[in-house]
Amino acid sequence: MTLLKKIIYTATTLPLLMFLFLAGCENNPNDLGLNFINPNDTAGSIILDTTLITNTNFRYYTNDNGSGNMLIGNYASGGNLYTSKTLIQFAGVNSNYAGATVLSAKMRLRYSKYAFKDTTGTVAFNIYKVNRALNLLSITNDSVSSSDIGTTSIGSYSGNPTDTSAIYITLDNQTMKDWLYYAADSSYATKNYGLAFVPTTASTTIKGFYSENTDVSLRPVITVVVQTTTSTDTIDFVYPSSVSLSTAPESVLPASQYFMVQNGIAFRNILKFSFPNLPTNAIINEAYLQVTLNTGMSYITSGTSNQIKVDMVTDSSTKATNNESFVLTRLDSITYTGRINQIVQRWNSNVSPNYGLSMRCPSEIANLDNFVFYNSDNPDVSKRPRIRIRYSLRQ
């Protein structure tokens, strides 16, 4: 065979051999190839938009021990009153001063620069003794009654803090003396159950003060000066634990066209969508939930997460969820979206009933910020909640 014929032969047969080789690999994939092929081969795909049929805002009592803010004050909005009080306990009270005379006592607080909507208003409150033992790690607003808090003020404050400068509040000497006696003898008649900061009618805003969950230099401290038989000593109570109890009437929730998710109180929301009966061999390739924020009606500060958690509701009466916390992220200034493939697949395969999706903010215990979203009855159809599903049919 001449050189020219060899070149022509190679040029014509090599592509054919390559084609047959590739075709063989495609029809009979090896172990490596199988990693790149969906075991549930599909035939085409269908995109489905499904719209909301019901929306339920509800109150979820939360415990915010662990927050960096102690919220105190009142805020009036549209005839509705938001109110926040804080309970605080101090551990490690010195037990060596049972016979001492308390000469003075004061509490130091520092403003955290958080305010609910009105940053220039006045925060005013009285300090009372707590009347019974309360677990600050678990109590919520509905588990504390007015009888749990005393009626005689042992300290008060009214002002408009603007920075983190120290605020000093004079406390009742007798109360601090009782704390010292109780620390030395647990059978002492007057117990130390902590203190309550309760707003007065003079308060026009709710402000945050740094809690124990911040730097040591910012935390609440009580300083007591005592006189013993031999010396005058200064004692600091430096191990606080606190919880804020915030509430507002449900009339603060939008009546129509919008729904709200709010921290602190808290208000959550359940969206339930019309979900068609897909074929039993449907594979959910993608499922996205999308909601749209009304920025003008919302109040979101820098300390609040820009995400929204979404959980599958597992009980329609208690509104319990599976707490897997799928997340909606903020794509732009108003649009939140996130994948919920597993939830939709469970609904479609009847593994789980469709009781809807519960929405909350990840930083629910941090403050009182709220997110207001467009609802299914909003005139602007483009901003209504929706689930977009892309599914395929298994061959």
Element (H, E) at 19: helix 3-27
How far apart, in whole angstroms, are the C-alpha atoms of residue 100 and residue 152?
24
Confidence at residue 281, expressed as pLDDT on a 0 to 100 scale: 80
How far apart, in whole angstroms, are the C-alpha atoms of residue 219 and residue 197?
15
Q: Helix, strand, or coil here: 181?
A: helix
Confidence at residue 393, expressed as pLDDT on a 0 to 100 scale: 84
Contact 370, 261 (CB under 8 A): yes
10-residue block means of pLDDT along the chain (395 residues)?
A: 45 42 35 31 58 88 97 96 99 94 98 97 99 98 97 98 96 98 96 98 98 97 97 98 98 96 97 80 89 97 94 95 91 96 90 95 96 95 91 82
Strands (E), 144-281: 155-159, 166-170, 195-199, 206-210, 221-227, 232-237, 239-247, 258-262, 267-273
Nearest in space to 117 (alpha carbons), one of 332, 285, 314, 263: 263
Contact 253, 260 (CB under 8 A): yes
Name the token pair of 148.
């749990």
Estimate to the nearest angstrom the gap between the alpha carbon of 206 and the chain centroid.
Answer: 18
How far apart, in whole angstroms, are the C-alpha atoms of residue 345 and residue 286?
10
Contact 261, 361 (CB under 8 A): yes
- In this structure, which amino acid lies at residue 209? F
Nearest in space to 336 (alpha carbons), one of 326, 344, 346, 345: 326
How far apart, in whole angstroms, are the C-alpha atoms of residue 58 and residue 261?
9
The pTM is what?
0.85
User: 55 phi and psi, to 5 degrees?
Assistant: -140, 130
Contact 239, 18 (CB under 8 A): no
Q: Helix, strand, or coil here: 351?
A: coil
How far apart, in whole angstroms, are the C-alpha atoms of residue 72 and residue 85?
5
Confidence at residue 45, expressed as pLDDT on a 0 to 100 scale: 61
Confidence at residue 117, expressed as pLDDT on a 0 to 100 scale: 96
First to last CA, the chain: 51
CA distances from 55 to 172, 254, 274, 358, 383 (A): 50, 11, 12, 10, 15
Name the token pair of 151.
């009626």
CA distances from 382 to 129, 206, 335 (A): 53, 35, 11
